[in-house]
Amino acid sequence: MGNPDTIFHDLANQDPTGLARLLLGDSSVTAEATAASLPIVRARTADALLLVRPAQDEFLLHAECTLGRLRIGPRMLEYVAILARREHRRARKEGRPERPIVSAVLRLRGSRRPPRSLRHEVRGTNGLTVVFQYLEINMQGLEAEDLLASSDPTVWSLVSLARGGDRREVLERAVSAIEKADLSPDQRAALFTSIWVFASVVGSHKMVERLLDMRGLRDTPALRQIFEEGRAEGEARGRAQGEAAALSKVLRTRLSRLGAPSPALERKIDAVTTSDELQRLVDIALDTETLAEFRKRAFPRKTR
């Protein structure tokens, strides 16, 4: 419930148009969610795969959400290659042209750079080079005020991550906007859960929790569960250990996508307790595609 990666995936399914507009910086597009599983060679799941309809030809938007700061280009390229193969097969089966694919990564933590296009190159022989371009959106590169001005409720749940979004007045406006929006009870509860989870990335979740308490807005099973878990962790282990517990959950969620860790690897992970070291493991896990690669980079063998 408290994993930002999972919350991002849920938001993409709930409000694909709002998410597409945020990633592309284009308020004129509309989008619908499509199946994000990539069952080729090894199990893969993109965080979001949207069918976007701009003024002209439609295209597929492949999106990833990451807490880490490591290079994500190689992983994005692998996903796009799998998507391109699947799109080629479906286009032939349905007798239509292949749709273009645009990739974007949303960095929940990172620099204050504005949205930009990046290149990842794979060099071959005889001057041949594969050039892959993708969009990078740093939440700290966006202004909280601009997100609040959006007409898309999904964008409001990300306000705490944007520049200036950790102020009480800004968070209060975001909570109020979600409260007053024309949403179903389930949609509203999902957005309140989302704003709390994303606020936890920057340490503003307690403020969000107090704002929801003041309005009597947290009385849903999902919100009660996540708040009770957070409070129990905070009271039992203190703020630093609570952060470590949250990072540990993110790490194990990511590793579960790569397979079942061996008992030896489980023991190594269990021995890591500090937030800084857990953050290092999360960054590595987000940048690897197999458990073997993760184990090699996270716990390198000592040479004599």
> pLDDT tens for residues 149-184?
999 999 999 999 999 998 889 999 998 999 889 988
| Percentage, residues of the chain above pLDDT 90 | 29
30 or 214, which is more confident? 30
Q: Residues 242-259: what's their mean pLDDT?
A: 77
Quickly state the pLDDT bin for 237 (edges 50, 70, 90).
Answer: very low
Tens digit of each residue's pLDDT (9 = 90 or more) over 126-149? 877 888 999 999 999 999 999 999
Find out whether 153 and 18 touch, Cβ atoms under 8 Å: yes
Tens digit of each residue's pLDDT (9 = 90 or more) over 49-95? 899 998 778 999 999 888 766 678 888 888 888 889 989 999 999 99
Query: Quick one: pLDDT at residue 73?
Result: 86
Query: Quick one: pLDDT at residue 150?
Result: 92
Tokens of 4: 């930002």
> Can you tell me the distance from the alpha carbon of 125 to that of 53, in angstroms, rounded to the nearest whole number?
38
| Mean of per-residue pLDDT scores for the chain | 82
| Percentage, residues of the chain above pLDDT 70 | 83
Q: Where are the domains of the chain?
A: 4-141, 145-219, 240-298
Query: Quick one: pLDDT at residue 225?
Result: 62
Tokens of 82: 């799998």
Tens digit of each residue's pLDDT (9 = 90 or more) over 107-125? 988 788 999 999 888 888 8
Quickly state the pLDDT bin for 240 (edges 50, 70, 90).
Answer: low
> Can you tell me the distance from the alpha carbon of 94 to that of 286, in angstroms, rounded to the nearest whole number?
35
Give CA separation, 253 vs 26, 108, 166, 198, 279, in Å: 32, 17, 26, 16, 14
> Can you tell me the distance from the alpha carbon of 64 to that of 284, in angstroms, rounded to the nearest whole number?
16
Whether residue 44 is predicted with pLDDT greater than 60 in this model: the reply is: no
Tens digit of each residue's pLDDT (9 = 90 or more) over 257-287? 788 888 888 889 888 888 888 888 888 887 8
Distance between the two ends of the chain, CA-based, in angstroms?
44
